[in-house]
Amino acid sequence: MIQNFRTLDDADVRGKRVLLRVDLNVPMENGKVADATRIERVLPTIREIADKGGKVVLLAHFGRPKGGPDAANSLRPVAAAVSELLGRPVGFAADCIGDAAASAISAMKDGEVLLLENTRFHKGEEKNEPAFVAELAKLGDFYVNDAFSAAHRAHASTEGVARLLPACAGRAMQAELDALTLALGAPIRPVAAIVGGAKVSTKLDLLGNLMERVDTLIIGGGMANTFLFAQGKNVGKSLCEKELADTARSILGAAQTARCRILLPVDATVAKEFKAHAASRFVDVDHVAEDEMILDIGPKSILAVEEALVNAKTLVWNGPFGAFELPPFDAATMQIAKMATLLTRDGKLKSVAGGGDTVSALNAAGVADQFTYVSTAGGAFLEWMEGKALPGVEALRTK
Ligand code: 3PG
Ligand code: MG
C-alpha cells in the first residue's frame, strides 16, 4: 500500500550484511525490559532478513548518553531480551564501529543476528557526521530502517547511512507508514481527531495542521482549559496558559475558515486537590468555582465525543482527556477508548493512536491491541501529525 518506498519485497539480502536500524529505546526497571512492545514490533523484520539468508546487524540507540560510553546506557541487557523474544541467539559487540564491530560481523554466518552497542556512544551519531556515517556504512552492504519512532532524528544511523547504502523500509516501518496514510494521508471520511494533553503551547503546529485535514477536532486535556478561558469562561485553579488566549481564539477562527468543527468540553469533572480519589463533582464549564480545577471532561462531553466517533469513519488520537494517571480522572479517556475499540471491532471505524502518554493510557485501559493501529512513537508521531517531514522516512523515499 505505501507508495514511493522500497520495502523488503524489493531487496535481495541473501549473504549480505544488513544494517537494520531498530528502536530499542525501551523502558527498563532493575536491569530488565519493562515494556517490550518496541522489540516485539521488529521481530518479524529480523526473522525475515535472517530467514532470507542475510546477516542481521542491529543498530540502535539507548537513552541520551553524552556522546561517550556509559554503562547505564549500554544495550547489552537489551540484547538478551531481544534474543529471548526472538527465540534465537543474538550476539553483542561492545562498539558500533571499529574493530569490535568489524570482527564480530566478519565472524557471522548467514542468518545470524548481532546487536551493536549504543550508537549514541559516539558524538558523530547525533551530529550525523560524515566520517561516522562512513564508519557505520562500511560495516554493511544494505540498510533497512525499522525505527519509525526515531525517524524524527536526522542522525547517522537513522538518516546518514540510508543515503550511503542501498536502503529500504522494514516491516514495522512499513506498517507504521501504512497506518499513518490510513489515518491522515488518504483517510476514509469523515475524520475525527482527538488532541489532548496538558499544554496548547506544545501542540500549536499540530492543531494548525489537523484543522486542514480533519472534519472534527476534539480537544481535551489541560489544553482545553486554555480554549475555555479564551471564550471567557472561568477555569478556577485549572491548568491554563492564559497568555495563549489570543492564540486559542485565532485557532478557533482558523478552524472555522477551514470548515473544521471544533469540539470543546461542555462540562467537566472538577476537584479542589490534584490527587487520586480527590472529592470531585461534575459541573458545566460555565460554573467552575474559583477554588476548583478541571481534571477531566464530564459526562455530557463524553456523550458528545462518543457521538462524534459514531459519525466518523477514521479516528486519529494523540493525548489523554484528563489527568488519566489519577483515578477517577481517567474516566473519560477510558470510556472513549473503549467506545473507539467497539466501533473498530464492528468495522465502523479505523482507529490510529500514538504519542507517549496516549499509549500508556490505552495500555492502562487494556485496549491498545484493539485499535486498528497504535504507534510506538512519541515525538515522531507528533511531528508526523504536525505535517513535518521526518528525516529518517525521507531518506527511504525512492526518487
Ligand atoms: C523515543 O524513545 O522517543 C525514541 O527512541 C527517540 O529517542 P530520543 O527522543 O532520545 O531521540
Ligand atoms: Mg523522545
Q: pLDDT (tens digit, 9 = 90+) per residue, 314-324?
A: 999 999 999 99
Name, in order, each residue with C-beta under 8 angstroms of 347's C-beta and a sequence gap of 6 or more. none
Give me the pLDDT at residue 356, please: 77
- Tell me how far the alpha carbon of residue 173 lies from the centroid of ligand 1, in angstroms: 15
Which of 7-16, 29-38, 254-263, 269-278 has the lowest average pLDDT? 29-38
Q: What amino acid is encoded at 375 in this protein?
A: S
pLDDT of residue 275 exceeding 80: yes
What is the number of the ligand closest to the CA of 125?
1
Give me the pLDDT at residue 185, please: 87
| Cα distance between residue 267 and residue 149, in whole Å | 35
- Tell me how far the alpha carbon of residue 137 lies from the centroid of ligand 2, in angstroms: 25
Give me the pLDDT at residue 355, please: 87
Closest-CA residue, ligand 1 atom 2, reads: 25
pLDDT of residue 360 exceeding 90: no
pLDDT of residue 276 exceeding 90: yes
Closest-CA residue, ligand 1 atom 3, reads: 378
State which of 35, 153, 383 you would mutate to test the pocket of ligand 1, scoring each by most atoms of that ligand within 8 A of its C-beta. Answer: 153
Give me the pLDDT at residue 363, please: 86
| Cα distance between residue 70 and residue 398, in whole Å | 37
Average pLDDT value for residue range 334-356: 95
Give me the pLDDT at residue 2, please: 60
Name, in order, each residue with C-beta under 8 angstroms of 264's C-beta and a sequence gap of 6 or more. 219, 224, 227, 228, 231, 285
> Ligand 1: which atom is nearest the Cα of residue 356?
3
Is 356 tagged catalytic? yes
Of the listed 379, 387, 388, 397, which one is catalytic?
379
Which comes out higher in pLDDT, residue 4 or 292? Answer: 292
Give me the pLDDT at residue 364, please: 83
Average pLDDT value for residue range 252-274: 97
Indicate the average pLDDT of the chain: 95
What is the number of the ligand closest to the CA of 390?
1
Give me the pLDDT at residue 399, please: 60
pLDDT of residue 198 exceeding 60: yes
Question: What are the pLDDT digits (tens) for 159-171?
Answer: 999 999 999 999 9
Name, in order, each residue with C-beta under 8 angstroms of 295's C-beta and a sequence gap of 6 or more. 268, 269, 270, 271, 274, 278, 280, 322, 323, 326, 329
| Residue 119: band (very low, low, confident or very high) from pLDDT cuts 50, 70, 90 | very high
Residues lining ligand 1, Cβ inside 6 A: 23, 25, 64, 149-150, 153, 378-379
| Cα distance between residue 354 and residue 132, in whole Å | 32
Residues with CB under 5 A from ligand 2 (ion): 378-379
Average pLDDT value for residue range 114-128: 98
What is the number of the ligand closest to the CA of 119?
1
Question: What are the pLDDT digits (tens) for 144-157?
Answer: 999 999 999 999 99
Residue among 270, 334, 326 at smallest CA distance from 297: 270
Is 91 tagged catalytic? no
- Tell me how far the alpha carbon of residue 384 lies from the centroid of ligand 1, in angstroms: 14
Of the listed 6, 47, 199, 388, which one is catalytic?
199
State which of 21, 22, 23 you would mutate to test the pocket of ligand 1, scoring each by most atoms of that ligand within 8 A of its C-beta. Answer: 23
